Amino acid sequence: MTYRNIYNCRPAWVFTRTLPVFRSRKQSISCGSPSPMILLFALLFLSACAGLPVRGMVGGQAIETRVDSEAARYYLGSYLAGERSDAALDERIDRVYQSANGSLPDRNELKHLSDDFSVDFAALYFADQIARISVNRRFRSAFEQAYDYALKAFPEGRVRLPADDYEVLVVPTYLYKRLFSVGADMAVPRAALKKAGLTCHFVETQDDGAVEANAELVAAAIRARAPSGRRLIILSASKSGPEVALALTKLRPAETRHVAAWINAMGALQGTPLVDERLFPDLEWLMGKVDAAGTESMTTARGRQRFDTFRIPEHVFVVNYFGIPVVGSVSFFARASFFPLRKYGPNDGTVLLPDMIFPGGVTLTELGSDHFMRGRRLDIATVALALTVIRWVEHPDSELVRGPGS
């Protein structure tokens, strides 16, 4: 049997070619012909049905989905379950684990696995390697307990976070004044944290501004909270991740003593190939003119160079939080960008998976979710994450906070 990538659907190809047609015809489509945008939506919907069905478990997270290859299906459904029935493939996978050097695979290693097996195989392997780090397992266990508690108690108003001791600084993501419908303004997390009793401070960044310019605004907001007497938890998402990291890097030690934790959700810490691929002109057609300096600041060249300068104070507890999708689980919102990024390896529809991790923090993943994190109730997950972070900060343990290879 051969283990090839059977996922050949190219919805992104359709997207890049259909949208210009839709532009030219949007005022002149005849009554009897289907809209190209409707055709696009139909093709994206149908692509969700492609792939090979499988169910399995990775690091305690169960998933039933479709994957892009026989190798990925065998790995998830059999190999990880301890059911070894293909000696040749077992040997190949064993060699992958044997070659691991005790740290998480980087983007180059994941690209190599994507080429050798498939992109979904590499994504699932990455998820398993994250889960094998003991600090990540313990943090997940604590989070799952908090989530189960919040799921019952939060709707009844019974979750109260320590407002006298903590407050939250929320930094919105790219185009948050225009993409509020998909959560870029982080309205749901803010409302949930306020309901749970925490004071939330919202940073009014430039919604299309450069990372460096917004980092100055974030730094000023962090500095301004120092006199409050409360410990600060910073919550960022996607593009605001590198903005927070750069702000914490530039601030003096005395200006960050009150910062207890940074929750780096889906952080585009090293930029995104979506900018390199020049897909943003289509975004401008949909959302209006955007600052070219803002998009340029998110190229992978700029992002990786900037990432190498980050120096987060050691007392700040960092949580990397993101989804790991496969072809059968990626949402409609992320689908059109998920596929062109697959040539670079596993991604969440916006960012390459390893590029969302800040070294030295704990990493919590949502298997099957993508950049839009639709796998759980966002309000419950936010409260559970805040509760878990506060409990860990209140009971410091160097092994818990600074796990090896996390």
- pLDDT tens digits along 76-110: 999 999 999 999 999 999 999 999 988 899 999 99
pLDDT at 1 over 50: no
Enumerate residues 6+ apart whose C-beta is below 8 A from 89.
3, 71, 74, 79
* Average pLDDT score over residue span 58-70: 98
Which pLDDT belongs to residue 278?
79
Domain ranges of the chain: 162-401
Query: Structure tokens of 368?
Result: 């099957």
pLDDT at 298 over 70: yes
pLDDT at 370 over 90: yes
* Cα 14 to chain centroid, rounded: 25
Task: Name the CATH code of domain 162-401 (choices 3.40.50.1820, 3.40.640.10, 3.40.50.2300, 3.40.50.1980).
Answer: 3.40.50.1820
* Average pLDDT score over residue span 44-66: 84
Which pLDDT belongs to residue 43?
47
pLDDT at 26 over 70: no
Which own/partner contact pairs does 24-27 have at CB distance under 8 Å and 24+ positions apart? Answer: none
How far apart are the C-alpha atoms of 129 and 108, rounded to whole Å? 15
pLDDT at 15 over 80: no
* Average pLDDT score over residue span 145-160: 96
* Average pLDDT score over residue span 220-232: 98
How far apart are the C-alpha atoms of 351 and 159, rounded to whole Å? 33
Q: Which residues pair with 166 in a beta bridge?
A: 231
Q: Can you state the angle between helices 300-307 and 240-250, rounded to 10 degrees? A: 30
